């Protein structure tokens, strides 16, 4: 026993499901989040000598999440809410030095009705399976008056497909090659992207309840405080490039996506894409004298879930 030592400890509550409505005079606004709260600090004794006096119960972390969902003016932005929640926790508990908050924001879009797409004040539709993802680390290890944060946001499970404008040829051909070179093919991927903002420092709460959380005035477009617009631009850029790029490969198209995200968002320092290549294989009908394999005549495909290619890269600001 004495030859072992605790080298890392982190605990918290995962899968905290929360829905919030903000009732404006004309329009209601809603968010649905899956939140995870993980804490680090002077908590070793809870592991090593069964000392629960240092434990903020994970049940309390769940309650704090709901309390802030009710009281925080930042609830509608997952980045700001995560920063507020992390700041609250590290400010309230002297021995907690780091809070790692992750949020998955599910899609709810306002229903538009009638010929002129009139936005409905309080009805919404789940118009996609993709999620806005956020990971915030609020760090108080340099002191409770010296808070800093790292924010990585992104999009997961954005499923797309195009039926033209994607070639793949010129790759290594040797005794292991069976793939046909094509000047056109089906291209489909489930986009996963995550971008990291420049590190930021945070003001500690000034009120006794530790609830006060301020964001700077006049923040720069593309900064972490502009995160709702950043994710909208990243989604648009991704869909734009996917549709419009005359793709030579997933690799080349991915790089263009990353370049756009960096160019359009001044506060983003790097972006990582993970693009599975979800292969659609043309059915060979040569046995019955029908051409379904040359790109121009390929119309019937087998969608395959496995194996898939997996193309990933990180594009960083110079």
Ligand X SMILES: O=c1[nH]c(=O)c2[nH]c(=O)[nH]c2[nH]1
Dig out the tokens for 261 from the structure: 């995200």
Q: Is 314 a catalytic residue?
A: no
Query: How many chain residues are in contact with ligand X, going by CB under 6 A?
Result: 7
Q: How far apart are CA 224 and CA 150, in angstroms?
A: 10
Residue 179 is a binding residue for ligand X (CB under 6 A): yes
Pick from 107, 109, 108: nearest CA to 119: 109
Considering only residues 249, 260, 267, 282, which one is a binding residue for ligand X as defined by CB under 6 A? 249
Pairing, β 280-282 against β 200-202 = unpaired
Burial of 281 (C-beta count, 10 Å sphere; 0-12/13-18/19+): middle
Site string for ligand X, 266-305 (x = CB under 6 A): -----------x----------------------------
Q: Is 58 a catalytic residue?
A: yes
Residue 242 is a binding residue for ligand X (CB under 6 A): no
- Quote the crossing angle between the two packed helices 227-244 and 250-264, to the nearest 10°: 150
Q: Is 318 a catalytic residue?
A: no
- Binding window for ligand X (CB under 6 A); candidates: 82-90, 149-157, 203-211, 243-251: 243-251
Q: Which is nearer to ligand X, 112 or 179 (CB)?
A: 179
Which of 28, 29, 58, 293 is flagged as catalytic? 58
Q: Give residues 97-126 in contact with ligand X (rule: CB under 6 A).
A: none
Q: Give residues 116-175 in contact with ligand X (rule: CB under 6 A).
A: 168
- The Cβ-side half-sphere exposure at 276, using a 13 Å CA radius, reads 15
- Binding window for ligand X (CB under 6 A); candidates: 146-154, 205-213, 245-253, 296-304: 245-253
Q: Which is nearer to ligand X, 163 or 277 (CB)?
A: 277
Q: How far apart are CA 100 and CA 65, in angstroms?
A: 13
Q: Using CA of residue 191, residue 197, residue 199, residue 203, what is the dihedral sign?
A: negative
Residues 88/81, Cβ–Cβ less than 8 Å? no
Q: Which is nearer to ligand X, 168 or 195 (CB)?
A: 168
Omega of the bond leading into 76 within 30 degrees of 0 (cis): no
Q: How far apart are CA 62 and CA 155, in angstroms?
A: 24
User: In angstroms, what is the minimal distance from the CB of 253 to ligand X?
Assistant: 8
Residue 93 is a binding residue for ligand X (CB under 6 A): no
Active centre residues (catalytic): 13, 58, 279
Q: Which residues are annotated as a binding site for 5-hydroxyisourate?
A: 168, 185, 250-251, 277
Catalog residues that contact ligand X under the rule CB under 6 A. 168, 179, 249-251, 277, 309
């Amino acid at each position: 026993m004495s030859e072992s030592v605790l080298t890392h400890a982190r605990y918290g509550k995962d899968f905290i499901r929360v829905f919030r409505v903000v009732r404006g005079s004309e329009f209601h606004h809603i968010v649905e989040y899956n939140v995870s709260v993980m804490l680090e600090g002077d908590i070793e004794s809870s592991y090593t000598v069964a000392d629960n006096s240092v434990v903020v119960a994970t049940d309390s972390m769940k309650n704090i999440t709901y309390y802030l969902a009710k009281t925080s003016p930042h609830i509608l932005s997952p980045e700001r809410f995560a920063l507020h929640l992390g700041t609250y926790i590290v400010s309230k508990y002297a021995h907690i030095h780091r809070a790692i908050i992750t949020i998955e924001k599910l899609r709810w879009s306002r229903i538009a009705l009638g010929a002129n797409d009139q936005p409905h004040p309080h009805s919404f539709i789940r118009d996609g399976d993709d999620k806005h993802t956020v990971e915030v680390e609020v760090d108080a290890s340099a002191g409770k008056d010296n808070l800093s944060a790292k924010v990585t946001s992104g999009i997961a499970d954005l499923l797309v497909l195009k039926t033209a404008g994607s070639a793949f040829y010129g790759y290594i051909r040797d005794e292991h090659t069976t793939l046909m070179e094509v000047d056109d093919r089906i291209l489909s991927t489930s986009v996963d992207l995550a971008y990291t903002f420049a590190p930021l420092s945070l003001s500690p709460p000034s009120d006794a309840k530790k609830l006060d959380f301020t964001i700077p005035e006049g923040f720069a477009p593309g900064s972490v405080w502009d995160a709702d617009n950043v994710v909208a631009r990243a989604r648009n850029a991704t869909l734009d490039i996917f549709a419009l790029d005359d793709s030579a490969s997933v690799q080349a198209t991915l790089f263009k996506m990353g370049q756009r995200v960096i160019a359009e968002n001044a506060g983003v320092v790097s972006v990582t894409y993970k693009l599975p290549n979800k292969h659609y294989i043309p059915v060979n009908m040569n046995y019955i004298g029908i051409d379904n394999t040359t790109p121009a005549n390929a119309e019937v495909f087998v969608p395959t879930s496995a194996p898939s290619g997996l193309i990933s890269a990180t594009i960083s600001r110079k």
